[in-house]
Every structure is written in structure tokens, then in C-alpha cells.
Amino acid sequence: MTMSNNNSESAFSSSFIWGVATSAYQIEGAAAVDGRGPSIWDTFTHTPGKIIDGSTGDVACDHYHKYAEDVDLIASLSVDAYRFSISWSRVQPLGYGAWNEPGFEFYSKLLDKLAEKNIAAHVTLYHWDLPQGLQDQGGWLSRDTPRHFAEYAAEVARRFGNRVATIATHNEPWCTANLGYGNAQFAPGIADTALSIQVSHHLLLSHGWAMQAMRAVNSSAKLGIVLNQWTAMPATDSAQDQAEAEWEYARSVQWFMDPIFKGSYPQKALDRMDMSQFHVADNDMAEIRQPIDFLGVNYYFRSYISTEVPAKKPEGKLGFSDMGWEIYPDGLSDLLLQLNREYTDLPPIYITENGMAVADAIQDGKIDDAARIEYVRLHLKALHDAIAQGVNVQGYFYWSLLDNFEWNSGYAKRFGLVYVDYETQERTLKNSALWYRDFIQNQVAARINPAHFLGQRQPRR
């Protein structure tokens, strides 16, 4: 039974957008096709020992060749919108200099196909795949990279700005900085906390410069950024746990939100950070603080903070995902309410990612992923609660459309609504995909006829 059948409170507004999300390196494959240059993820995955199953994104879901079939799949889910990212080195092989027309042609064909199916395109410019050509010149430690990023952003806005609904500058800059430069789990694989702080500043600066460069282009796309966020909950009410939780929230959430919305870094975070490599030029904070049209929030879990040794673990009343992440839907409403209290001028929010890895298996041609369905159902309920309490959320994107290359976990973790057999590239809708489709269709039916809430079945869209 879907939420809309049994609970009239659960109807989302008629303008609410339902979507699915992916990113370029995780699905496209075709790593060296049609002039694409290598990115830091190509370099990283081809370095032995970096990826748990030794895999690469060379082929991934071969979406580059199967995009038309994949858009048909998206359309079969009845969603309104598709969030994907552009591979920078596909459209500009070095990250500076010449554009690669066949690369732009691929995204143009993808946009045509989405338009044909009436699916709105939500584009991300940077989902972690910096052109290796820019890494070779200092990557995100150099102030030239933000400059190149702004040029790339403006070029995408010029070419596609009237064909897409939104353009986000970055996806989860927290990860680029903390996993790419803080603990070396992600490309480029550097472990140096002081450098990671400087990288986060350059990512924010690149966001600010890209916003300005895109605003200078006449386009209808709404512009914003996507941040991964969580509440930080102290494990006990000890003063130490509380202080540590506040610090965690400051260094992870406010660190990216405050510069964008307040034009400064949170003092609480600055107080405890290694500032030895930190350089902020005079006007940087004003450059970063640009009005954004939307905020993308990616939510997977809460942060659970314990200063005890060994640290207290969350009890995981609802269990843990195949990533080992605690399932904690209330964290989504807690987070949204907290953001809404703290930032008075928030633009509309999209939940740009939320989803669950499950060790899925095909049986008799079916994938019974009941745990994923429950995960989504509970998060939508929490989301609805937050909206009912006044948070302006205008859409939800499930991560991910397809099982795909899950970064340093390789292909071992499956997040998709659609199962991918990597040997044959065959796609099969999981039960969660059918559930999501029915849920959306019921929402749409409810928009048309409120009597639907009384339990009457409505025809599908």
C-alpha cells in the first residue's frame, strides 16, 4: 500500500517534482571514446589498491551508448525529472583550452531524448571528476582551477541553459575536500587535513565564480549547489559529546552553508581547524556569497558523535544499509528543520539524493528489495513532516536510477531502482522501481482527484 492510499496527510503538492539521479563517471563508461580526456577518477581507479573490487568506470553501465534505452526506463517510472552530471573532461578534455564537440553532442542528444519524454533535466557540473589536465597543474589547490571551472560553467549555460531546469555547480564539495584530500579514500587520493581545508575554500570560490559567470549568460536554468548534509547527534548528554557534535556540525554543514548564505566561515569550526595552509583572499567571501535559486540537499544518514573510547555506536533501530550506514529517516526532517531555523533566506530545497544500498539478487527475473522500499517510504514520510512544518522542499530524487560504480566500493554496492547485470548490461526493474512508479502515479492521481485519498483507485497517468 502506498502512503497516498492510506493517509491524506501524505499528499505532496501538485508542483512537487519526483526524480531519479545518477552521475557521469558512475554510469557513462566510454572513458576514452570520442575525444574524452581522462579525469582524476580514471587515474585513481587505474591505480592498484584504490578500489575495493579492483574495478574502474571504463565501461560502468555503458550509459554513453545506452542513454536512449535508459531514458525510456526513466520515463517508465513516471518521474518528472532526471538529475545527471556532465563529465567535464568529455566536453573539455584538459579542463582548459579546446572544447570537445562530440562530448557536447552526447549531452545534447541526451537532452533531446529527455525532452521527447517530457522529463526535466537537472544538471550537475562537477560530480568529483576533475580533468586530469587540471590536476596536473595543481587541481583544487590552485586558484586557476576555480577560474577554469567558471569558464566551463558559462559554456554549459550558454549551450544548454535554455534546455535544462537547473544547473548545480558542485555535488557534495564536502566529499571532494574530505575524502579526496582529507583521508585519501577518493581521487586524487591525498591525505592531508590542512590541504583539504584549502581545497574546500577553492571549491566554494569556484562555486561563487561559476554562479557569476552563469548569471552573465542569458538562460532560463535555475542555478544552485548540492551539499551532503546531516545532523550531528551527541551519543550522550555529556558536555564532551555535545561539544564534539556541535563541532562536527560546524565543520561539515555550516562550513559550506555559512559562506554561501552569510559570507563567512563558522567561528566554531575555525577555532579548531588546522589553518596552516589556509589562505582566503580579500574579496573571496563576497565572491562566494552569491544568491542561489535552489539548494540541493543529499541525505543518507545522521552523524552520531561519541567521545568515549571505544566510541558508542548508534543502535540502528531500523537497521543499517549494505554500506553500513545507519537507517535514520527522522534525521532528514531534523536536518531540514534545523536548516530552516538557522538560515532565514533559504531558497527552495530539492532532496537531490537519498537512497539505500542493498545486496540485491535476481530470483526468477525479479528483485525483491523490500528493505529499499521501506527506506524510501520512511524518508518520504519524514520529508513530508518537514514540509508540513514549513520547510520549502520542491522535489525528491532517488539515488540512483541504476546500480552503478560506487566510487571506492566499485560495483559491490547496489543503490539502483534498476538492477544492472554488468556482464550483459541488461537492466531489470527492481520491486522498488515498481513501488516508486506506483507511488508517483498515486500522487499524481491524488492531485487530480482528492477523493483518491478515500481509497478509490485511480487510473494511471
Least Cβ distance, residue 23 to ligand FCB (angstroms): 5
Options 170-178, 180-188, 309-317, 441-449: segment touching ligand FCB (CB under 6 A) = 170-178
Least Cβ distance, residue 84 to ligand FCB (angstroms): 11
Least Cβ distance, residue 179 to ligand FCB (angstroms): 9
Q: Which is nearer to ligand FCB, 100 or 171 (CB)?
A: 171
Least Cβ distance, residue 413 to ligand FCB (angstroms): 8
Q: Which is nearer to ligand FCB, 179 or 383 (CB)?
A: 179
Q: How do beta strands 426-429 and 418-421 pair?
A: antiparallel
Which conformational region is residue 62 in: left (phi greater than 0), alpha (psi within -120 to 50 degrees), or beta?
left
Site for ligand FCB in 257-276 (CB under 6 A): none
C-alpha cell at 33: 571514446
Name residue 296's beta-bridge partners. 226, 350
Residue of 172, 248, 287, 406 marked active site: 172
DSSP label at 402?
Answer: B
Backbone angles phi, psi at 350, to 5 degrees: -115, 140
Q: Which is nearer to ligand FCB, 77 or 226 (CB)?
A: 226
CB-CB contact of 42 with 190 (8 Å): no
Q: Which is nearer to ligand FCB, 26 or 206 (CB)?
A: 26
Site for ligand FCB contains 23 (CB under 6 A): yes
**Residue 222 burial (CB count, 10 A):** 17
Options 28-36, 171-179, 429-437, 440-448: segment touching ligand FCB (CB under 6 A) = 171-179
Options 44-52, 108-116, 168-176, 426-434: segment touching ligand FCB (CB under 6 A) = 168-176
Q: Which is nearer to ligand FCB, 171 or 219 (CB)?
A: 171
Listing DSSP states for 298-360 in one string gives E----EEE--SSSPPPP--TT-B-TTS-B--THHHHHHHHHHHHH-TT---EEEEE-------
For this structure, is 342 an active site residue?
A: no
CB-CB contact of 387 with 337 (8 Å): no
Options 75-83, 103-111, 169-177, 375-383: segment touching ligand FCB (CB under 6 A) = 169-177
Name the 3-class secondary structure at 195: helix
Which of 353, 360, 369, 385 is in the footprint of ligand FCB by CB under 6 A? 353
- Number of residues lying near ligand FCB (CB under 6 A): 12
Which conformational region is residue 156 in: left (phi greater than 0), alpha (psi within -120 to 50 degrees), or beta?
alpha
Least Cβ distance, residue 7 to ligand FCB (angstroms): 29
Residue of 28, 248, 353, 406 marked active site: 353
Distance between CA 27 and CA 32 in Å, rounded? 14
Residue type present at position 230:
W
For this structure, is 326 an active site residue?
A: no
Closest CA to 372 of 409, 402, 437, 416: 416
Least Cβ distance, residue 229 to ligand FCB (angstroms): 11
C-alpha cell at 58: 571504463
Site for ligand FCB contains 171 (CB under 6 A): yes
Q: Which is nearer to ligand FCB, 287 or 403 (CB)?
A: 403
Give CA torsion, residues 378, 383, 387, 393, to 10 deg. -150
Q: Which is nearer to ligand FCB, 161 or 173 (CB)?
A: 173
Q: From residue 72, how far is each of 118, 166, 398, 401 by CA, in Å?
A: 11, 21, 17, 12
**Backbone CA torsion sign across 366, 327, 74, 69:** negative
Options 53-61, 135-143, 167-175, 416-424: segment touching ligand FCB (CB under 6 A) = 167-175
Q: Which is nearer to ligand FCB, 194 or 318 (CB)?
A: 318
Site for ligand FCB in 376-415 (CB under 6 A): 399, 406-407, 415
C-alpha cell at 381: 514520510
Name residue 123's beta-bridge partners. 84, 167
Least Cβ distance, residue 193 to ligand FCB (angstroms): 20
Least Cβ distance, residue 17 to ligand FCB (angstroms): 19
Least Cβ distance, residue 407 to ligand FCB (angstroms): 5
Question: What is the x/- site pattern for ligand FCB, positions 283-312, by CB under 6 A?
Answer: ---------------x--------------
C-alpha cell at 378: 520512511
Closest CA to 226 of 170, 178, 177, 175: 170
Q: Which is nearer to ligand FCB, 100 or 400 (CB)?
A: 400
Task: Give the residue numbers marked as catalytic.
Answer: 172, 353
Chain residues that interact with ligand FCB, rule: CB under 6 A: 23, 26, 171-172, 175, 228, 298, 353, 399, 406-407, 415
